Amino acid sequence: MQGSLMLDIAGTWLTAEDRQLLRQPEVGGLILFARNIESPRQVRELSRAIRAIRPELLLAVDQEGGRVQRLRRDFVRLPAMREIAQRADALQLAETCGWVMATEVQAVGLDFSFAPVLDLDHQRSAVVGTRAFEGDPLRAAELAGAFMKGMRAAGMAATGKHFPGHGWAEADSHVAIPVDERSLDQLRAADLIPFKRLSSELDAVMPAHVIYPNVDEQPAGFSRRWLQDILRGELGFRGVIFSDDLSMAGAHVAGNAAERIQAALSAGCDMGVVCNDRAGAGLALDGL
C-alpha cells in the first residue's frame, strides 16, 4: 500500500517542529487555513519557506467562495456557488470566478484550492447549503464545469467534492457521522450525475465522510466499493483521490489516526489529509 499525507501547521510561519515534519518523506502536501494567512505577501513568503525545504510538496487551500474562503484580506471576495447559480449570467460568472480564484491562489505560491463543490443542494444539509450550485444535477454539472473551465484557463487542477454527494445527509461530518439511506439507483439518478459527467475533466476527487448503508457500511472515503468499483470502475475516473480530513468526526469509525490513514489508503485514496491534530498526524506518519 502506497500513499502520502497532507498535513497542516499552526501559525503564519514555520517553526523548527514544522520544518522537521515537512522533511518526512511520507508528507506529500500541506493545506493552509485562515490561521495561517495574514496577507498575500506573508502567504508568498510562507510558500517560499516551505518550497525551500520540499519544492515538490502540494500546497493547498479551501478557497471555494462564499463562506468557505480562507484567503480574505486583500483578495477578491467570491460569491457562494448558490448565488452564482441564481444569476442570469451564471455560466459566464462561474467561469470568471473560477479563473479569479485560481489566479489569486497561485499568485501567493499555492498550487490549488479544493474546488469545486459538486454536492447537490437538496435543501437538507446545513454544512453544504450555499456551497452547492444547484439541486438539479444537470445544471449543477454545467455550472461546475464552467467554474472548472475558468480554473483550467488559469492553470489550476480541479478537485470535485464530496463524492458521491454530501447534500442529502443532514449531519455535519465535521462533528458527527452522517448517513444517507438512499439506494445506489437513487444516487445514480441524482448526486452521482455531476461526478459522472465531469469525471474525465476532474484532476482529483475528495470523497465524503458519509455512510450510504444501502451501498456499503463504510463511509465513502474508506470504501473500496465506492472508490474502486464505482468511482474508478463505473465512472472511469483516472485522477487523484484525496481523503477528506481524517481528523473529522465522520472519519472516526475507522479507528485511531494510524488506522484511519491505513483504511483510507487501502480503500483507494492516494493522499490522506490530516488537519488540526498534530498528535494524530504523528500517529498517521508512524502508520505509513
Reported as a pLDDT band with limits 50, 70 and 90, residue 2 is low
DSSP secondary structure letters along the chain? ---EEEE--SSSS--HHHHHHHTSTTEEEEEE-GGG-S-HHHHHHHHHHHHHH-TT-EEEE-EEETTEES--TTS--PPPHHHHHTSTTHHHHHHHHHHHHHHHHHHTT--EE---B-----S--TTTGGGSS-SSHHHHHHHHHHHHHHHHHTT---EEEEET--SS--S-TTTS--B----HHHHHTTTHHHHHHHTTT-SEEEE-S-EETTTEEEEGGG-HIIIIIIIIIIS---SEEEEEETTSGGGGGG-SHHHHHHHHHHHT-SEEE--S-HHHHHHHHHH-
Is 174 one of the catalytic residues? yes
Average pLDDT over residues 69-85: 93
Whether pLDDT at 250 is above 70: no
Question: In percent, how much of the chain has pLDDT > 70?
Answer: 97
Cα separation, 97 vs 89, in Å, equals 12
Tell me the whole-structure pTM to 2 decimals.
Answer: 0.94
pLDDT tens per residue, range 179-219: 999 999 999 999 999 999 999 999 999 999 999 999 999 99
112: which strand partners? 60
pLDDT the model gives residue 176: 78
The predicted model gives 27-49 an average pLDDT of 96
Which entry of 18, 119, 180, 244 is annotated as an active-site residue? Answer: 244
pLDDT of residue 126: 84
Q: Annotated catalytic residue: which of 136, 174, 203, 229?
A: 174
pLDDT of residue 1: 42
Query: What is the rounded average pLDDT of the residues 49-72?
Result: 94
Residue 111 known to be catalytic: no
